[in-house]
Chains A and B, each alone.
Chain A
Amino acid sequence: MSLLDAQGISKSFGGIHALDTCSISVEQGTITGLIGPNGSGKTTLFNVMTGYERVDSGQVRFKEQAITNAPPDKVFRLGIGRTFQLTRIFPRLTVLENMHVAVQRNSLKGLFSRWSSAHEQKSALELLDFVGLTSLKNLPAGNLSYGQKKLLEFAFVLIAEPQVILLDEPAGGINPTMINYLTERIRTLNQRGVTFLIVEHNMEFVMGLCDKVMVMHRGAKIAEGSPAEVRANPTVLEAYLGD
């Protein structure tokens, strides 16, 4: 079943066609990779699918229901989480506080406590442990290293227990040990039923982790298949080299 899909999305910025009737589909329970040369529109597609940009035309659907142009907070509450290429966390809040931002419940309860329930407090600590940041929990998040910030962002997206997570270049700018660590975390979560859509340039990472890979070029999908199929596809090679 297609969990999340984009159908015929077009989006232009001024004269630039970032997305050109782009259609992709993410199956439930998979780890899907999204690759393509720079400028092919991957981040724009993410932005459109998570409500950070409006579409010019086309539809975004989650579990077969249209969510096109829904605002980011609604998208998140539906169960779609995402990380950013340039990691965005809350630098002036502590690591633990960062975790709790995402745990939003109805407004009335929220007025009366910082941590709405013991259960949520427990989840936050568990997740911090999951990404290995427990010892740093009271530090301002701005003091973390780049890799640690990435992990923090990953962790707080998880806290609302999303069904699908869109990762934008999760392996960018971190060392191989950290990459392996992250890969393992993603696999563990996938085994628990979380679906992933990952934009990445690191081919080893993508090919090793993903069940299915889609390739974008100039705002549209040009190929899809298993990692091996995509690697051998001549259209894909041309897209990367021909530009």
Chain B
Amino acid sequence: MRMFKETSLIFSRQLDRVETLGRYTIVRRYGKMVGLLALLAIAIVFPLVFSNSEETGIALFALIFAAAVTGWNIFSGYTGYISLGHAAYFGTGAYALAIICQVWNVPAGYTPFLFVPVAGLVAAVLAVPVGWIALRVRRHTFVVITIAIFFIFQLLAINLTEQYTTTGSLNLPIPVDWTGDFYNIPFYYASLILLLVAIAISWWVRNSKYGLGLLAIRDDEDRALGLGVKTVPSKLAAFVISAFIVGMAGAIWAYYVFVIYPPTAFDATFDVAFVLMAFLGGVGTISGPILGALLLESTQQYFTSVLTQNGGYYLIAYGALFLAVILLLPRGIIPTLSERWARYQVSRHQSLQEHDAIVTALPTPDGVAENVERKEGINL
């Protein structure tokens, strides 16, 4: 009889825990939304508070890269096919916008921003045959192919720019009526909008049946194929979507720097940057690329201003950081943090269980009150 009572007490306590866990999860979920809205508010208000052009400049570069890395992640993070040549689409977007502005005489000001999606589309369209070729090989070769393809794009850009321009560079319209500190502001908000669009697409992909297919491909591609997942179209679609976003980022970048040369538009260090930022923040997560980009880009911009005299130190610092991230934090910040958090929660509940074991043995009024307090504790 006593055993029955004890077990039923333990059982009811388990149910209570499940219930409080449920309440806790709801609090957590709302908390998350509030947090995100707060971040968004900060991002919107940022240029008005920190209106210094140096600060807004760094911020908008960070946003451009955050968008680009989010785009990269949609393909490489979700499918597990690491692309080390996505800077090719960044450059394509840059060139596309420059050429559009020249050919259609687009005036400076807000109008070029309207053509940014068009530039992205150009990159996306080019990505179709490229992706089709590149995705025919297995993962390891794929990585190397993306590097080769990047260099093809760069070479073509060099050759064609040489052939069709006198200066070896492309110019974009310069909005002269945006003076002083105001100049960066439209670029900032354009980049922010792009980032939000990228996040939306990334979130939508990840939470769709299609995205589940991509994640399955990442875990075991042949198994996914054997379960009816259309692996080839899925991968190609992700590739094209990511090229679209990265292309748009490149276009905004091009408009901001207003003069582009083949080596600056198709810059191998961007390839590195995208990958490093994603790995730093956490490949395959939605917030990881953003965190990585914000951290790294701001640091980078800071370093370039401080260490311009000797590019060598900059390279060493970059390389060392690269190694540190890969060897010490291979999963990235966000996944490592969330894993720690989960483990912390588990251990918390384990100690709860221990506490309860003691409490059930002492059916005193004090014991019951203690238990109630505990529950309150969880709700917070």
Contacts and interface: CB of A to CB of B under 8 A. Distances in A.
Q: Would A and B touch once assembled, by the CB under 8 A criterion?
A: yes
Interface of A: 50-52, 71-73, 75-77, 82, 84, 88-93, 97, 100-105, 107, 109-116, 156-157, 160
B225 interface: yes
B217 to A, nearest CB: 9
Could you say which interface size class chain B belongs to?
Answer: 20 to 34
Nearest to B219: A90
A52 B195 CA distance: 41
A92 B233 contact: no
Contacts of B210: 107, 110-111
B208 interface: yes
Q: Main SS of chain A's interface residues?
A: loop
29 contacts: A50-B226, A51-B226, A71-B225, A73-B225, A73-B227, A73-B228, A73-B229, A73-B230, A73-B231, A75-B226, A76-B228, A88-B222, A89-B220, A90-B219, A90-B220, A100-B209, A101-B224, A101-B227, A102-B227, A104-B229, A107-B210, A110-B209, A111-B210, A113-B208, A114-B207, A116-B209, A156-B227, A157-B227, A160-B227
B280 interface: no
A21 to B, nearest CB: 26
Contacts of A51: 226
Interface of B: 207-213, 215-216, 218-220, 222-231, 233
A75 B225 CA distance: 10
A104 B231 CA distance: 12
B226 A101 contact: no
B136 to A, nearest CB: 14
A101 B216 contact: yes
A88 B213 contact: no
In this complex, the member of B211, B215, B218, B228 whose beta carbon has the largest number of chain A beta carbons within 10 angstroms is B228
A232 B224 CA distance: 41
Contacts of B230: 73, 104, 107
Nearest to A100: B212
Which of B222, B227, B230 neighbours the largest number of chain A CB atoms within 10 Å of its CB? B227
Contacts of B208: 110-114
A76 B226 contact: yes
Given A52-B222, A76-B228, 16 more contacts: A52-B226, A73-B227, A73-B229, A73-B231, A76-B226, A88-B222, A91-B219, A93-B212, A101-B212, A102-B228, A104-B213, A104-B230, A105-B209, A107-B210, A160-B227, A160-B228
